[in-house]
Structure 1
């Protein structure tokens, strides 16, 4: 089955639902790991909406990605509570350790570095989420340790 056929099958499962685009995009990302730009025109045609509308939703919500993520996804909180206890230093340290900027994936696809603006762990900032597991009081060395344990 081609990508377009698989996307059409997802759309068919949600056809007739109000506001179907978001659940469809989530399902596509769950299946493929990301939303390939090639699916935008397929979704637009199937849902009778513009390509710009589909693209706008994908780029508006930070949970959607247009490129495959790394083996590990690191999300660093940059909300005010975490900023007040060192989040910006943690972001700078993470960029230096991984050799990438926020929003990028390492060339070997081992780590994707993302920012979020609240993980709900304000009392234990700076907070990080690594592969959907939440951590508090994270600094450079703890982040490296968490990733080492995650890959062990």
Structure 2
């Protein structure tokens, strides 16, 4: 019994000396909010600001909206998200890690491309991968 107690004390001492004591607290570290959601005045929309790590973990990938025949715009169909009312949206990015929803009108979809009759101007960066995750973050889903 005395041997067990000595072994336990010795093990606790080794763990403390090696820095393993309090590992849970050390791993937790300061809480970092990966996404900041700011409501835009006079609008139902928000501006989302993500940390670089959050952008990486969500796999956010951008693509530029392109002019298309018939005075339309083309964006990857993966960029389009729909709300509960059936309205179509894309997330635009004007700065690194900053995103905002923009309304679009989808005329058609072919081969993974959405053709828009209304939306962000040609050349605007839209979120081609990760738009659904941004929409969830904006709406507070998963909190």
Give TM-score scaled by structure 1 length: 0.26
Give TM-score scaled by structure 2 length: 0.28
Larger-Rg structure: 2
Structure with greater contact order relative to length (CA < 8 Å, sep ≥ 6) = 2
